[in-house]
Amino acid sequence: MIRNNPPFNGKRFLLNKNTNEIHDLLNEKSDCQIDEISLDHIQMFDTLEEASVYLIFNNKQLNGWYYCLKEMDKG
């Protein structure tokens, strides 16, 4: 579910900076527990490409959350 309030700002992809896992809010499942993620741990992106670039520049690897981005999940 896309959320328009900060820090979500209508963007689709959420990076949990604490776990380095990406969530797709258009494919959100209850197991994502988005509302339980600390606001300080949230970084939002419009596209997976933006998230990937951000992670590369921060020496991290893209890892999709199993429940909403299964094809990108690296375990």
pLDDT digits (tens, 9 = 90+) for 37-65: 999 999 999 999 999 999 999 999 888 88
In this predicted structure, the answer to whether residue 72 has a pLDDT above a threshold of 90 is no
Q: What is the pLDDT of residue 28?
A: 96
Average pLDDT, the chain: 92
Give me the torsion for CA of 3, 44, 20, 40, rounded to 10°.
-80
